Amino acid sequence: MITPNLAEKFKEVVGAPNVLSEKADLLTYSYDAAVLEPVWPGLVLRPTSTAQLGPLVALCNDNNLPLTVRGSGTNLSGGAIPSSGGVVLVTGALNRILEINEADMYARVEPGVVTAKFAAAVAGRQLFYPPDPGSQAVSTLGGNVAENAGGLRGLKYGVTRDYVLGMSFVDSEGGLVKAGARTVKCVTGYNLGGLMVGSEGTLGLISEITLKLVPPPRAARAMLAVFDDVRAASETVAAIIAAHIVPATLEFMDNFTIRAVEDFSHAGLPAEAAALLLIEVDGHPAQVEEEAAQVERICGEHGAARVQVATDAPTRDKVWEARRAALSALARLKPTTVLEDATVPRSRIPDMVSAMEEIGRRHGLMLGTFGHAGDGNLHPTICCDRRDADEWRRVELAVEDIFAEALQMGGTLSGEHGIGLAKARFLENETSRATILWSRRLKAALDPKGILNPGKIVGA
Amino acid sequence: MAGAQELARMVKELDDQLVVCMRCGLCQAVCPLYAQTGREADVARGKLALIDGLAKELLDDPLAARDRLERCLLCGSCAANCPSGVKALDIFLKARAILAGYLGLSPIKRLVLRHLLGNPKIFNRVLRAASAFESIWSKPADELLGTSCARLGLPLLGERHFKRLADQPFLSQAEALDTTPGAGGLKVAFFVGCLIDKIYPEVGWAALKALDHHGVGVFLPRDQACCGIPALSAGDTEAFARLLRANLELFGSGRLDHLVTACATCASTIKKVWPLMAREALLSPEDVRAVEELAGKTLDIGQLLVNNFLPGQKISPEVPDAPVLTYHDPCHLRKSLGVWREPRRLLRANQNWRLKEMAEPDWCCGMGGSFNLRHYDISAGIGRRKLDNIRASGCRAVATSCPACMLQITDALSRAGEKIEVKHALVVYADSLP
Ligand SMILES: Cc1cc2nc3c(=O)[nH]c(=O)nc-3n(C[C@H](O)[C@H](O)[C@H](O)COP(=O)(O)OP(=O)(O)OC[C@H]3O[C@@H](n4cnc5c(N)ncnc54)[C@H](O)[C@@H]3O)c2cc1C
Ligand code: SF4
Ligand code: SF4
């Protein structure tokens, strides 16, 4: 499909060292972090300036070549897995922070800037970029926008979408489209930026992003509450919100996860507890003081067996270390880790947690649930071995059951990991036939030849 | 293709370790090579995918796979930070061995690894000749030394500013020792390692001084062999086995409390890689046990000194106008063995310096054994990041605990025309002793 002649043309745009075509190299761009089969691309491009993007997309379009953008390849739904023989465009070299504007509190970045590096650069100017996906040490901001990534701070601070003021992107013919502005308010034209957020590379290539920044909180207080009963934990969550306290983070861990973390890190977690809540309030020091006391009281009133407030930095770190260890601890139990992110309305968390336990039992699988209790975004995690064909079949059934439960409770298939390839066929269950058809018409109008990340979100 | 299937069968034996990788990509955050190149084949996830590709016969080009696997500093940053606990270094070493077995070693490598390294006497003679004729070194010779000793980064080719071979190797000057413990009550074997022997003999002398000062009994045989990591990095299990056996014979018997080294790479090799590869090296079950026992006793010399002789001692207050000294964490010490407090404690014992941390002290210096020779530009690029951090600390000297890191940092500093001294932490400590 990609003739030597065409490969030459790509080289003219990005330079020969930035075009990879050897099989061994192509193999390393055939996967992302989703548990899916690899698909071989035909060519890998690594542009070094955003000005190269237009000509590259135009070349793909003229030659009917499917094109998949890749940030760091950490998404969990197959969005960065290419089409067979298609082109992968890696944004890693487009990693400049173009501007951090302190007076107007925004920043402009290229799409390949790594999330944590950006957050650190911004923090260096006494500003704050809240979205903190668990992969922030490696994920790119382009990938975050294209997946509408969330994180631990979603409840109070929102997700990536809430920080995108504007962007430039390259359309399927190589034209440069500008959306939004550098201001908080902007109503010029359609909300194209809104359409691009979460579009997983199917509508255009994001080439520059303008992100909103906020002042950092001046104080924070973390605490850990232990429960003998999942329902009590969940009621506590509801009560905290009902008291009009919005914690920056409100994380949940079930008994299976607690035991795994304790075995792994010996952090001193109570192995017998049915559930843990890890809570952090932040803001003005006086308000933090007051809210922390209130949260502590609410936990006690709703049946917490124990509440531990972190009064200094080391204990605070310990609380979050336990949460950060959750994925590692589960990942080490068995070779394959299937990390789901079905999300339900907050009030349904106890039902969802018992449904997850039941699904694990029914299919004879090791399943632990942890996640963002504050926004109902749970991560049921199946520890398995995909080499075991029988077990793997049961995993697939369990995943379908998880989706069904979430939908039945008025929830959604994915709170933050995206649809990609993995969940495309389930999308209609959550929405409607008409939704899929409307989305496909939209996609066909914007990308008539269907070259932009085909097969993702709306299927083929 | 019978051959390819045979290879796939061999690689499949790594399967249980390979499946542990969940392709999360978090290793991208810590790989010094990936930070430099941004190529997926350079990071652990990509390399593991390549090995997996060979096992599943998706990839039928073992040469290309080997090329990419050899682009690696074997620094272990990936393994140390992997959430899933993938033993990336173990896998890389075993895969290199399998590929070398399948593809064969280049004649030069075979010569060096099997005949020279395995025979310390001949090796020494060749090197001595080498130091006399540095000017006529050519490519094969480059290869020869690059693959020979733990990262022996000689000779002086191209733009490299390497330190020269010592006029007299440490082991040719030092007396063989087998002294009884004094006040310290401990008896240790001193494993010198090629680089300290041949390029930094002063570190060897500092070790003897410190051990003597603390009344530690020392066993120092003069005909000790290389730790074997260069052979293993080249995938030469046969040469490695020979070295392992020679070392075991020398150090495996006799009553020793510890085996100590001042080379982070040797320490991590003896402690981690020897037991890992002992069975592969076809040792008898008793020998495997002896290797495991020896590995259990092995310590970085800083660890020995600090744990036994310095813990109770108060750190005297800093002298405010003393010149600044900064410290670089060798990957093989910090990431592989989790040792980083001890060398800093050693440095604080010397009042003539004031320890100040640089940014990212544990970011790899970029040496990575023969990697430095084969991929000099990338290696130097990684070194520049280190250089910038060293400079920014405003130090007069930089200390570390691995002679290989010393070579790399010296190269980076001298190319930049910096007048910052490079010291071994042990030497700084020994200077503080009477
Ligand atoms: C350990 C781990 C923890 C995680 N934790 C979280 C979490 O807490 N919250 C969360 O939301 N996600 C999480 N994720 C998922 C993942 O990290 C996010 O989806 C992240 O946003 C992906 O970024 P990336 O740079 O790796 O993008 P990639 O995976 O490379 O790409 C993701 C999608 O975006 C598209 N894309 C990338 N760049 C562009 C661009 N410039 N223009 C157009 N399209 C583009 C790609 O085509 C693809 O469809 C986690 C993943 C892992 C492995
Ligand atoms: S080696 Fe570890 S960190 Fe790297 S991708 Fe695999 S599991 Fe993730
Ligand atoms: S050992 Fe070091 S250089 Fe090699 S893949 Fe791991 S982190 Fe990268």
* Domains of chain B by residue range: 2-103, 108-163, 170-307, 314-431
B106-109 long-range contacts, CB within 8 A, separation 24+: B106/B143, B108/B140, B108/B143, B108/B144, B108/B147, B109/B143, B109/B147, B109/B234, B109/B236
- Give the count of beta carbons closer than 10 Å to the beta carbon of residue A3: 9
CB within 8 Å of B331: residues ≥ 6 apart: B73, B75, B76, B77, B264, B362, B364
Tokens, residue A325: 């260890």
Q: Are strands B397-400 and B324-327 parallel, antiparallel or unpaired?
A: parallel
Which residues are B198's β-sheet partners?
A: none
Residues of chain B in Cβ contact (below 8 Å) with chain A? 15-16, 19-20, 22-26, 28-29, 38-41, 45-46, 49-50, 53, 58-59, 61, 64-65, 67-68, 83-85
Q: Which residues contact B399 (CB under 8 A, 6 or more apart)?
A: B325, B326, B327, B328, B343, B347, B422, B423, B424, B425, B428
Paired tokens of B293: 């026992």
**Interface test mutation site (partner A, options B12, B17, B22, max chain A beta carbons within 10 A):** B22
Q: Residue A55 falls within a domain, yes or no?
A: yes
Say yes or no to pLDDT of B130 above 50. no
Contact A28 B85 (CB under 8 A): no
pLDDT band at B120 (very low <50, low <70, confident <90, very high): low
Q: Is A453 in the pocket of ligand 1 (CB under 6 A)?
A: yes
**Taking CA atoms, what residue in B is nearest to A385?**
B19
CATH topology identical between B170-307 and B314-431: no
Q: Are residues A244 and A375 in the same domain?
A: yes
Q: Write the CB contacts of A399 (distance below 8 Å, at least 6 apart in sequence).
A: A338, A340, A382
Q: Is B51 in the pocket of ligand 2 (CB under 6 A)?
A: no
Q: According to the model, what pLDDT value does residue B155 have?
A: 38
Nearest CA, atom 2, ligand 2: B82
Mark yes or no for CB contact B64/A24 under 8 Å.
Answer: yes
Interval A150-194: pLDDT, tens: 999 999 999 999 999 999 999 999 999 999 888 877 777 889 999
> Which pLDDT score, from 0 to 100, does residue A58 have?
98
What is the average pLDDT value for chain A, to the nearest integer? 94
Are A289 and A392 found together in one domain? yes
Question: What pLDDT is attached to residue B121?
Answer: 62
pLDDT of residue B131: 45
pLDDT tens per residue across span A56-105: 999 999 999 999 999 999 999 999 999 999 999 999 999 999 999 999 99
Residues 6 or more apart in contact with residue B89 via CB below 8 angstroms = B74, B76, B78, B79, B272, B336
Sheet containing B397-400: give its strands across: B354-355, B324-327, B397-400, B421-424
**Strand residue runs (E) in B328-407:** 354-355, 397-400
User: What sections of A409-453 are H helices per DSSP?
Assistant: 427-430, 433-446
pLDDT score recorded for residue B109: 63
In a domain, A167, yes or no: yes
**What is the Cα A12 distance to its own chain's centre?**
35
- What top-level class would CATH report for the domain B170-307? mainly alpha
- As a whole number of angstroms, the distance between CA B112 and CA B119 comes to 10
Q: Which of A42-46, A256-260, B356-360, B373-377 has the lowest mean pLDDT?
A: B373-377
Report which protein residue has its CA nearest ligand 1's atom 31: A143
Cα distances (Å, whole numbers) of residue A299 to A155, A211, A276, A383, A459: 18, 36, 11, 31, 45
pLDDT of residue B150: 33
Q: Provide the CATH topology of domain B2-103.
A: Fumarate Reductase Iron-sulfur Protein; Chain B, domain 2 (1.10.1060)
The residue written with tokens 């062999």 in the block is: B225
Residue B111's pLDDT band, with cuts at 50, 70 and 90, is: low
Whether the CB-CB separation of A421 and A460 falls below 8 Å is answered with no
Q: Which fold has domain B314-431?
A: Rossmann fold (3.40.50)
Q: Supply the DSSP string of B256-273, one letter for each residue.
A: -SEEEES-HHHHHIIIII
Which ligand gives the minimal distance to the CA of B35? 3
Q: Are residues A41 and A104 in the same domain?
A: no
Is the C-alpha dihedral spanning B390, B395, B401, B404 positive or negative? positive
- For helices A389-408 and A349-362, what crossing angle results, to 10°? 160
Q: How confident is the model at residue B394 (pLDDT cuts 50, 70, 90)?
A: very high
Last residue within a domain, chosen from A364, A393, A408: A408
Say if residue B151's pLDDT is above 70: no
User: Of the candidates A46, A73, A328, which has its C-beta nearest B25's C-beta?
Assistant: A73
Cβ(B89) to ligand 2 under 6 A? no
- For the ranges A99-113, A287-301, B18-32, B110-124, the lowest mean pLDDT is seen at B110-124
What are the tens digits of pLDDT across the range B181-206? 988 889 999 999 988 998 899 999 99
d(CA B316, CA A213): 45
Residue B117 pLDDT grade (very low, low, confident, very high; cuts 50, 70, 90): low
- Per CB-CB distance under 8 Å, the chain A contacts of B78 are none
Q: For B14-38, what is the mean pLDDT?
A: 93
pLDDT at B143 over 50: no
Segment A29-47 shows an average pLDDT of 97
Using the beta-carbon criterion (under 8 Å), do A328 and B84 form an inter-chain contact?
yes
Query: Are A146 and A79 members of one domain?
Result: no
**Among A2-6, A379-383, B69-73, B223-227, the least confident range:** B223-227
Query: For ligand 3, atom 7, which residue shows the shortest CA distance?
Result: B31
**Measured distance CA(B95)–CA(B85) in Å, rounded:** 18
Number of domains in chain A: 3
- Put simply, the answer to whether B58 touches A38 (Cβ < 8 Å) is yes
The finding on whether B21 has its CB within 6 A of some atom of ligand 2 is: yes
Q: Is residue B188 within 8 Å of residue B304, measured between CB atoms?
A: yes
- Average pLDDT, stretch A231-237? 90
Full domain range(s) for residue A157? 97-212
Q: Is B379 helix (H, G, I), strand (E, B) or coil?
A: helix
Residues of chain B found within 8 Å of residue A116, distances taken between Cβ atoms: 29
Sheet holding B217-220, edge to edge: B177-178, B217-220, B187-191, B258-261, B298-300
**Mean pLDDT, to the nearest integer, of B237-257?**
87
Chain A contact set for B49 (CB, 8 A) = 27-28, 30-31, 38
Domain check: are A303 and A326 in the same one? yes
For the domain that residue A299 is a member of, what is the CATH number? 3.40.462.10
Terminal C-alpha separation, chain B = 68
Q: Looking at the predicted structure, is the pLDDT value of residue B159 above 80?
A: no
What is the CA A275 to chain-centroid distance, rounded? 24
| A chain contacts of residue B84, beta-carbon cutoff 8 Å | 328, 331-332, 337
Residue B400 CA to ligand 1 center (angstroms) comes to 38
* CA B47 to ligand 3: nearest atom: 5
Q: Which residues contact A267 (CB under 8 A, 6 or more apart)?
A: A261, A318, A321, A322, A325
The pairing of strands A377-384 and A366-372 is antiparallel
In chain A, what percentage of residues exceed pLDDT 70?
A: 100
Model pLDDT, residue A324 = 84
DSSP class of residue A426?
Answer: G
User: Which residue has 């086995």 as its token pair?
Assistant: B241
Minimal-distance CA residue to ligand 1 atom 9: A133
Residues of A in contact with B23 (CB under 8 A): 31-33
Establish if A285 belongs to a structural domain: yes
Q: How confident is the model at residue B10 (pLDDT cuts 50, 70, 90)?
A: confident
Are A248 and A125 in the same domain?
A: no
Q: Which two tokens stand for residue B280?
A: 């592969």
Taking the Cβ of residue A25 and every Cβ of chain B, the question of whether any pair is shorter than 8 Å is answered with yes
Cα B70 to ligand 3 centre (Å): 10
Shortest-distance ligand to the CA of residue B32: 3
Query: Is residue A194 domain-shared with residue A224, that is, in the same domain?
Result: no
Name the DSSP class of A58. Answer: H
| Same domain, residue pair A203 and A104 | yes
In a domain, A364, yes or no: yes
In chain A, the percentage of residues whose pLDDT exceeds 90 is 82
* B84 with A32: Cβ contact below 8 A: no
- Domain containing residue A36: CATH number: 3.30.43.10
Give the number of the atom of ligand 2 that is nearest the alpha carbon of residue B84.
7
Query: Given an 8 Å threshold on Cβ–Cβ distance, is B84 in contact with A30?
Result: no
For residue B27 and ligand 2, the question of a CB distance below 6 A is answered with yes
**Where does a domain end: A385, A408, A431?**
A408
Sheet holding A67-70, edge to edge: A19-20, A43-45, A87-90, A67-70
Counted across chains A and B, CB pairs separated by less than 8 A come out at 86
Q: Is A266 on the interface with B (CB under 8 A)?
A: no
CB-based contacts of A386, cutoff 8 Å, min separation 6: A35, A335, A336, A392, A395, B19
Q: Binning pLDDT at 50, 70 and 90, where does residue B108 land? A: low
What pLDDT does B154 receive?
40
Is the separation of the CB atoms in B76 and B119 below 8 Å? no
Backbone φ, ψ for residue B351 (5° rounding): -75, -10
pLDDT at B149 (0 to 100): 36
**How do residues B274-329 score in pLDDT, each as one tens digit?**
998 888 776 788 899 999 999 999 999 999 999 999 876 666 677 788 999 999 99
Candidates B43, B82, B91, B336: which one to mutate for ligand 3, based on the most atoms within 8 Å of Cβ? B43
- Asked whether this complex has an ipTM greater than 0.90, the answer is yes
Classify residue A437: in a domain, yes or no. Answer: no
CB proximity A92 to B under 8 Å: yes
Nearest C-alpha in B relative to A134: B26
The reply to whether A193 and A237 lie within a common domain is no
**pLDDT > 50? residue A412:** yes
Q: Kindly state whether A22 is in contact with chain B, defined as any CB-CB distance less than 8 angstroms.
A: yes
Residue A74: inside a domain, yes or no? yes
| Residue A330 sits in the same domain as residue A290 | yes
Answer whether B45 contacts ligand 2 (Cβ < 6 A): yes
Neighbours of B86 (CB within 10 A): 24
Last residue of a domain, one of A187, A212, A237: A212
Q: State whether B50 and A24 contact (CB < 8 Å).
A: yes
Distance B46 CA to ligand 2 centre (A): 9
End-to-end CA distance of chain A: 20
- In degrees and rounded to multiples of 5, residue A364 shows phi and psi of 60, 45
Contact A90 B38 (CB under 8 A): yes
Query: Which atom of ligand 1 is least distant from the CA of A453?
Result: 47
Phi-psi region of A196 (alpha: psi -120 to 50; beta: other; left: phi over 0): alpha
How many Å lie between the alpha carbon of B362 and the closest alpha carbon of chain A? 17
Quick one: A393 and A282 in the same domain? Answer: yes
With an 8 Å Cβ cutoff, are A386 and B58 in contact?
no
Q: What is the DSSP letter of B363?
A: S
Which residue's alpha carbon is nearest to atom 1 within ligand 3?
B74
Beta bridge mates, A139: none
Q: Are residues A270 and A388 in the same domain?
A: yes
**Could you tell me whether strands B397-400 and B217-220 are parallel, antiparallel, or unpaired per DSSP bridges?**
unpaired
CB atoms under 10 Å from CB of A287, counted, come to 15
Domain assignment present for A455: no
- Pocket of ligand 1 contains residue A458 by CB under 6 Å: no
Q: Is the pLDDT of residue A317 over 60?
A: yes
